[in-house]
Structure 1
Amino acid sequence: MPPSEALDATEAFLGRFVCFPSEYARVATSLWVAHSYLLEHFDSTPRLAFLSPEPGSGKTRALEVIGSLVRRPMHAVHCTPAALFRAVGDLDNRPTILFDEIDSVFGPKARENEELRAFLNAGHRRSGLTFRCESVGNTHTVVSFASFAAVALAGLHDVPDTIATRSVIVKMRRRGPGEAVEPYRLRVHEPEGLAIGEQLAAALDSLVIPEDPVLPAGVTDRPADVWEPLLAVAEGVGGAWPGRAAEACLHFVAGRAGAAEPSLSLLLLADLRRVFLEAGNPDALATAPLLAGLLGLEESPWRDLRGKPLDPSGLARRLRGYEIRSTNLRVGATVAKGYRQVDLSDAWMRYLPPIHGEPVGNPFGGVPQKPATGATPATHTHHQEESGTNRAQFREERLPTAVAALTDDGATREALAATSGRTTAGGHSVGA
């Protein structure tokens, strides 16, 4: 049987019993099943995660059906770390791990499952190893176990970012009134799935896998690691699969970018930029008015961080990771601690999208000043000196547009998620 026909049969079998949220999800799952037979050709393996907000959404059924198709399935509900390490470490009989109820690993008892989390994080790369200390009598030996294995997950809610960024995430949902699938009966349908899996394995046995598959434009970094094996399978199989795989890739990568919630640190950078804009784009702001501006933003988290408002030390601690530190500012006849725009602008440029209408490379369209020495005046603005535009004109002509772009909740979330070279749903490309 030609590889494309074997993969078509795999997709058809999956579609009979699993109500996928989209054709893209069915395509991705079919390619993932095929890649489990070709793991030795790849440097990385994506996790396939079936997640839903509520039970009864078909996640376990998806794992059951996949289990009849993949190479050496190992159903791992409540599996001990030791069992996983040894099973995956047997390179001649490496299984495909199907891990149900993954929310129990990442939920309230997550601290009890650190070894499993480490295994899932490390095992997506061929170089991933897990180390254990084993004792024989009074002798202690460090033993390494290979962690590289294809893993499919199913669980409620979400998974940590360390797993999510390594995964193709299929958001499952309960079937609607018009959505019907065949009931899956293990004793009846598993043999059929096993036969289709054997046909797929035979068809893929002599498949030529491209070492450098074509990636859709804009798919780089971690998303490229996730999708490269699946795109390579599709390219090797041929037929309609390369095009369908590319469409599925773009669908999931764009969906991941649009759904990603920005971290508190990114929100802080965005809100600091907003406060500077609303203050007239000064060269610097003292810490006290800067915090007042942050705390005054509607729906901001800064008034209640674990029951306390953001304070000067908390602000300094959160900015330290971006190598931004407070400095002495001259406020009238006194000197106070504060932050200069020139110290913030590099982080704004690298981690936030540019404000609509401003050139990429500077958040406000001006020319960054060189760092000043001594105490910097806290009232001077770039636009007064650099472009000759006075503060009133800046407020009237440019500030409302910039602030509106930042305060549009949907646009802000989408734009923040579009950092690191990703493309937003609106088509705006953001440089890394």
Structure 2
Amino acid sequence: MDEAKEMQTPIEPLSLAVERSGRGDTVTVIARLADDELHRDKLDLNRADARSKFARAINKLVPRFTPVEVDSQLLKLLADLERTRERENSDEPKAEHGEELDAMEMTRPELIIRRDYSAIVVPRLMKTRNGPDGIWTLYAKSNAKRSASELEPSIIVGEQVLHVSPMPYPPTVSDASELCRWSQASREAWTSGKVAPTTDEAITAVMERLDRFIELPTDPADGEAGSIGHAATLSLWVLLSYCYPVFPAVPYLYLAGPAGSGKTRTMDLIGRMVFRPMFSSNTTAANVFRSLHARGGTLLLDEAERLKDDRSPDVGEITSILLSGYRRGGRANRLEPSGDTFRSVSFDVFAPKLLACIRGLPPALSSRCITVRLSRASTGSPRAGRSLDESPADDQAVRDLLHCWMLEHAAKLIDTPPPASTLANRDAERWEPLFRIASLSSDPSLLDFVIGHAARQIETDHEDSTPEADPALLAALHQLVATTPRITPGDVLETAKDIDPDAFEDGWNARRVSVVLRRYGLRTSRSHGKRLYRMNASDVAVVAKRYGYEIDEAETGVPQTPVPQTEEAF
């Protein structure tokens, strides 16, 4: 098993870069493996002995890179330096710059939405003598006019000129098969004016697919509506994936539930309908930010439990990207090679994202999510027994409908005001895009229903946004400080495990307890070489109440004296 896994692991190539650090060809050469620096040294690339010394050093660190291979790469660097020097010393006139471009007139290519203008870019394969040739085609609706034309670097929208960035490379066959999710027949029907779906038709089509394959849990708070609140939420989020550039922030969708509750099945079904899905369960940060920047679309991340592993640098990087990508303009900044040096490059990571896992998400990420809690289907459920592959034509019909819906209705969302609701702050920000899409329905009761469902869901969201172990740690500290004079973080951990043993997986230790409780302003002080908590139970109870955790002071027998809620502890 280990050998097979190792064989499947991609072998990272050796990357060499130079920084000028002296006269002539004396430079600093930096060797990297993926994002890790292996070795650096200052040398004259013209000298064979200097190159040989550097190559032997690399071979000693990573034996699979032979000295001959490394020397060959060093010679290529030398050739690149010589060409760069020739260009710098050339008398040829430098290229002249044209007129300045307005940064506000830049647009990404995949979904373009302006007032009275909407466009989707689709990869198409065209037959040529030399085989299939890919082109990007812009399907647009400007006022009442529909058109299809090849994507150009600049697009005229009324009296405005939009400049496409990043301008995509010509699509490959795999690009077309993966990203062309709008059928040719539907495109031709829409262009000729035969198709104009309503928002009601789009929502109904998605809800019918969900109802056929997924048994969503019944929410008693919704009364007779049962699971319709969840179905409406999922359906509106699918529509959101086709118009997300309109909104300043895009809510993530979090599928929560125990093993066997249908999270992966639900994700698979939603992935068949959303705009440009990108599935992943074990990806790298570089793959996430490069793919989102290059193609846009919707990220679907299964088995997201590993995002809680705050000790992994790569996981931390992915989490940072997810946090940044919640708002329009969210970027991942990285250093990229540029000639003989590096420059900072920004990657656009703003996009809808669906996350699924069992044990919950980090708090900051959970606060950006709309949560749908799934449960196991009832025994003999016809929905759970149906194959998702039973009707590919129906899947395609829904995608066709959603592409047409976007072109017909997305521009209206720009001037659609946020509906009145009782939500505020981040809660309002998360749900507002779904409310605005729902308001395009001809049935006003849909919006009222979704607003009510959102309010009821938010009441239970706190449980998912809370780190699983935190309530047990606070309860343990509250219990101990009322009865024990000298409490260490290790004591708190052992008591917390008794309170909620399922909240503590392997890897918990006293230091980690100290870090968690410090986030709540509960710090230790040193006494005789030990870290001890010195506070009273009422102090802990005040902190717990402030964060919405329930602690009953009467259980410890401590008098419930009011404590001023100051911020000094924080």
Identical aligned pairs, as a percentage? Answer: 25
| Matching of residue 4 in structure 1 with residue 208 in structure 2 | no
Q: How does 1:21-100 map to 2 (within 5 A)?
A: 21=217, 22-55=227-260, 57-76=261-280, 78-90=282-294, 94-100=296-302
Q: Does 1:299 align with 2:533?
A: no
The superposition leaves residues 22-81 of structure 1 with CA deviations (integer Å, 9 ceiling, x where unpaired) of 3222111101011112212212112223344325x4434333332343223333455554
CA distance in 2, matches of 1:107, 1:316: 17
**Greater shift after overlay, 24-33 or 348-357?**
348-357
Q: Which residue of 2 aligns with 1:153?
A: 355
Paired letter, 1:10:
V
Maintained 8 Å contact 2:537/2:553: no
Q: C-alpha separation between the residues in 2 aligned to 1:83 and 1:356?
A: 47
| Number of the residue aligned with 2:331 | 129
Indicate the residue corresponding to 2:370 in structure 1: 168
Cα displacement (A) at 1:149:
0.3
Distance 1:341 1:35 in 2: 47
Cα offsets for 1:136-188 (capped at 9, x unmatched): 34211111111110112344554333333322233334432352235332633
- Indicate the SS of the match to 2:439: helix
SS in 1 for 2:498: coil
1:143 aligns with 2:345: yes
SS at structure 1 position matched to 2:412: coil
Match of 1:428 in 2: none
**Higher relative contact order (Cα pairs below 8 Å, separated by 6+ residues):** 1
Alpha-carbon distance, 1:99 to partner: 3.0
Conserved? CA contact 1:49–1:170, under 8 Å: yes
CA distance in 1, matches of 2:211, 2:512: 51
Once residues 61 and 308 of structure 1 are traced to their aligned partners in structure 2, the CA distance between those partners, rounded to angstroms, is: 32
Matches within 5 A, 1:227-306: 227-237=431-441, 239=443, 240-258=445-463, 267-271=472-476, 273=478, 287=486, 299-300=498-499
**Secondary structure class of the residue paired with 1:237:** coil
Residue identity opposite 2:290 in structure 1: R
Contact 2:331-2:350 within 8 A present in 1 as well: yes
CA distance in 2, matches of 1:87, 1:305: 33
CA contact (8 A) 1:65 1:190 kept: no
Please identify the structure whose Cα radius of gyration is greater. Answer: 2
Bigger proportion of residues as strand: 2
Question: C-alpha distance in 2, partners of 1:318/1:232?
Answer: 38
Q: Is the CA contact 2:257–2:358 (under 8 Å) kept in the aligned structure 1? A: yes
Residue 286 of structure 1 contacts residue 339 of structure 1 at CA under 8 Å; is this kept in 2? no
Judge conservation of contact 1:266–1:351 (CA < 8 Å) in 2.
Answer: no
Q: 1:298 to 1:341 in 2, by over 3 A?
A: closer
Deviation at 1:347, TM superposition (A): 3.3
Measure the CA separation in 1 of the matches of 2:315 and 2:524: 40
SS state at 1:148 partner: coil
Amino acid at match of 2:202: A
Task: Look up the match of 2:213.
Answer: 17
Give the number of equivalent residue pairs: 346
What is the TM-score when the length of structure 2 is the normalising length? 0.49
- 2:228 is aligned with what amino acid? E
List gaps (5 residues or longer) in structure 1: 280-284, 329-335, 371-432
Q: In structure 2, how many angstroms separate the alpha carbons of the residues matched to 1:6 and 1:116?
A: 33
Q: Over the residues paired in the alignment, what is the CA RMSD in angstroms?
A: 4.6
For structure 2, the 5+ residue unaligned runs are 1-196, 218-226, 527-531
Give the 3 Å change call, closer, same or farther, for CA 110–26 of structure 1 in structure 2: farther
1:300-351 superposed Cα distances (whole Å, 9 cap, x missing partner): 479x9989997xx9998776555566899xxxxxxx9943678667635633
In the alignment, the residues of structure 1 paired with residue 280 and residue 490 of structure 2 have an alpha-carbon distance, to the nearest angstrom, of 49
Q: Structure 1 residues 85, 180: closer, same or farther in 2, change over 3 A? A: same
Following the alignment from structure 1 to structure 2, what is the Cα–Cα distance between the partners of residues 151 and 246? 22
Q: Deviations over 1:282-303 (max 9, x none)?
A: xxx954799999988993479x
On the 8 A contact 1:10/1:200 being kept in 2, the answer is no
Relative to structure 1, the CA distance from residue 109 to residue 15 in structure 2 (aligned partners, 3 Å threshold; closer, same or farther) is farther
- Secondary structure in 2 aligned to 1:184? coil
**Which residue identity does 1:15 align to in structure 2?**
D
SS of residue paired to 1:133: strand
* 1:222 corresponds to 2:418: no
Identify the residue that residue 151 of structure 2 maps to in structure 1. Answer: none
